[in-house]
Amino acid sequence: MTIIIESTLRYAMPLIIAALGGMFSELSGVVNIALEGIMLLGSFTAVAVAYLTGNTYLGVLAAMVGGVALASIHAVVSIRYKANQVVSGTAINILASGVTTMLARGLWAEGGSPPIQRIPDLTWPFRITPFVPLAFLLVALCHWFVYYTPMGLRLRAVGEHPKAADTAGISVERMRYFGVLMSGVLAGLAGAGLSVGLLSGFEEGMTNGRGFIALAALIFGKWTPVGACLAALLFGAATASQTFMQALGIQIPAQFLLMAPYILTMLALAGVVGRSTPPASVGIPYEKGAS
Amino acid sequence: MSRKWIAGIMAGLLAMAVLAGCGKSATDQQGGQSQQQSQQGSAEGEKKPFKAAMATDVGGINDQSFNASAWRGLQKLKEEIGAEVNYVESKRQEDYETNLATLADQGYNIVWGVGFLMTNAIGAVADQYPDTYFGLIDGEVQGKPNVVSVLFNEQEGSFLMGVFAAKTTKTGKVGFVGGMELPVIERFEAGFKAGVKAVNPNVQVITVYTGEFNDPEKGKAAALNIYGQGADVIFHASGKTGEGVIQAAKEQNKFAIGVDSDQNHLAPEHVISSMMKRVDVAVLTISKQAAEGNFPGGQTVVLGLKDNGVGWSDTTLWDKMPPDTKEVATKWAEAIKAGKVTVPSTRKELETWQVPEI
């Protein structure tokens, strides 16, 4: 049983952290499908800095900085220049995949990093990376921030009704920058959790779609921290039980469970499993003074 | 004003992404060009160098596995006959056809498609470029005079890995981690299980397919699962996913068996052997035949143990296995080479397979 719980948590952890990141961006009204690219850059930065300095904790910090750097491109393009946010996100994903590959090959002849020292596991209550409790802590913090602080209220206001927020004296631009940059911090951290928390090295394209699944978890969780966390745990449990059942000799087509997160998300969007409604102004650039 | 800015920024981003993403090293191309010039100089422009290229599958050129092996073959070709060599990486399956066609368009004499998933793409592109030779690794395209298909008897090499695993295990349980459930990977699985059975039918094999070839974390999670159920040796046939398997072996202080290339360097104390699949040898040999005008078009070349197409790696850790392991494995290898033992290549064949007397 601990095996299933452990692998559920392993799988869910990066999804939870990245989904929280996506939540900040989307609540403020900016679609962020660049989570995948930001995570990948985070994974790379964490390993590269750990490799160069010998300090993995420094690598985790650097991953967050790298995430912010990449997210700031998305922020400027979609907030300052009001570009299509999906196009910008897609470009960033392609950019991140290319840049990490290029840098990894420059740094390590084989493209993949040599094994590095990863963040030590906790030993209690069972062996697990400290990123797992950190993820749950972040869920609680984000819940408190979004629903119980004035700043959280402002964040939601600019995503729901930017004009009203603007009239009330809230800077829509500033709140949206904050939302997108926070998504960079968290998605970068999620990437680090994958490469130096769960694994001990970088491989090209190692996030392998987790950013998109995190986005699915966010939607399935109705854009709330707790909901996204539960959705990520559900996706994790699905993957973990599939592996576990296979190991027991019960065969389920792997494709079926790979599809599961997306099918559930579509059902949620279609209102079958409780309606999932995005922030009203998500994806729409705010034009000051426009009617 | 602001629209132009956006357009500029987006174009810039995409251009950077494309430049960064193509991942082709400029030095290789320059090397090729200067070689072309020097050769033309010496042969007074009579003969252009032979040009060979490959398209990787989604694993990429640095998969430390069969794409990397194919690329080693091409580099050897460059060394041996001064060929101009190049590669393109496929980021997703939709790119296969485009990438192969691009290489054929650029005038490469032989274009390699690496991986079973390239089969349809090779078939389609070969019709469009009848004057280009195509080579397909791990898949079969029949009846096209400009295509050669190369298959390996992975089950024969995997059988020996099964012998190692069954000899080495102390818990009576071993594991197999596969990537996608493709016929190629089934050959690894069936061969491995037959090898285990041949040594000790009571050893249990725990099998997990991750559904991915490039997800180390899923490999690690699968391996932790298998080790958690009491296994102590895992053989993987899952590309980069398997690097997670090897990481798990290292952390749990258990054993792993690598695949395609010698993977011992990933964990020198824990990777007891690797099932070598000499894609490099196949690519080199057939490209050379093409350069000499003896391209085995339309044929399917099958490389097994007796052709040295598969086998165990040089860094097999004999001291981690019982002392008679090498002797037993060699005996089986000789029997397979002599055709006295046919190793099952599918799960179905495995079901009815009886351990023969040797």
pLDDT digits (tens, 9 = 90+) for A99-128: 999 999 899 977 678 889 999 999 877 789
Q: pTM value? A: 0.86
Please give the CATH topology (third level) of the domain spanning B29-152+279-306.
Answer: Rossmann fold (3.40.50)
Asked if the model's pLDDT at residue B43 lies above 50, the reply is: no
Give CA separation, A39 vs A22, A185, A199, A209, in Å: 11, 10, 14, 10
**Rounded to an integer, what distance in angstroms lies between the CA atom of residue A28 and that of residue A162?**
9
Is the model's pLDDT at B29 over the cut of 80? no
Q: Which residues of B touch A249 (CB under 8 A)?
A: 206-207
**Closest chain A C-alpha to B326 CA, distance in angstroms:** 29
Q: What gap in Å lies between CA B297 and CA B320, rounded to an integer?
A: 44
- Write out the CATH class of domain B154-276+323-352: alpha beta
Instruction: With CB atoms and an 8 Å threshold, state whether A6 touches B224.
Output: yes
Given B207, B217, B243, which is nearest A194 (Cβ)? B217
CATH number of A2-269: 1.20.120, 1.10.3470, 1.10.10, 1.10.540?
1.10.3470
Quickly state the pLDDT bin for A256 (edges 50, 70, 90): confident
Contacts of B69 in chain A (CB under 8 A): none
Taking the C-alpha atoms of residue A201 and residue A59, their distance in angstroms, rounded to an integer, is: 12
pLDDT > 90: what percent of chain A? Answer: 71
State the pLDDT at residue B41.
40
Contact at CB, B240 and A239, closer than 8 angstroms: no
Query: CA–CA separation, B302 vs A128, rounded Å?
Result: 45
Q: How confident is the model at residue B354 (pLDDT cuts 50, 70, 90)?
A: very high
Q: What does pLDDT average to over chain B?
A: 88
Average pLDDT for B51-79 = 90
| pLDDT at res. A270 | 77
What is the domain partition of chain A in residue ranges? 2-269
Residue B172 one-letter amino acid: G
| pLDDT digit string, tens, across residues B174-214 | 999 999 888 999 999 999 999 999 999 999 999 999 988 88
Is the sign of the CA dihedral B100, B101, B103, B104 positive or negative?
Answer: positive
Q: Which of A83, A247, A257 sits opposite B229 (nearest CB)?
A: A247
* Inter-chain residue contact A77 with B23, CB threshold 8 Å: no
What is the per-residue pLDDT across A150-199, written as a single tens digit (0 to 9) for each? Answer: 999 999 999 999 999 999 999 999 999 999 999 999 999 999 999 999 99
A79 touches chain B (CB under 8 A): no
Model confidence at B45: pLDDT above 80 = no
How far does the CA of residue A203 sit from the closest CA of chain B (Å)? 8
d(CA B178, CA B259): 11
Which stretch of A11-15, A214-218, B33-37, B234-238 has the lowest confidence by average pLDDT? Answer: B33-37
Per-residue pLDDT at B47 exceeds 80: no
| Residue B13's pLDDT band (cuts 50, 70, 90) | low
Confidence of residue A275 (pLDDT cuts 50, 70, 90): low
B104 burial type by CB count under 10 A (0-12 exposed, 13-18 middle, 19+ buried): buried
The stretch B239-255 carries a mean pLDDT of 95
Q: Is the pLDDT assigned to residue A284 strictly greater than 50?
A: yes
The answer to whether the CB atoms of B214 and A205 lie below 8 A apart is: yes
- Delimit the domains of chain B by residue range: 29-152+279-306, 154-276+323-352
Q: Is the backbone peptide bond immediately before A225 cis, with ω within 30 degrees of 0?
A: no
B15-19, B23-27, B344-348: least confidently modelled range: B23-27
Model pLDDT, residue B15: 60
Q: Which residues contact A10 (CB under 8 A, 6 or more apart)?
A: A128, A129, A132, A198, A236, A240, B217, B220, B221, B224
User: CB-based contact (8 Å) between A192 and chain B?
Assistant: no
- Give the per-residue pLDDT at B12: 64
Neighbours of B144 (CB within 10 A): 17
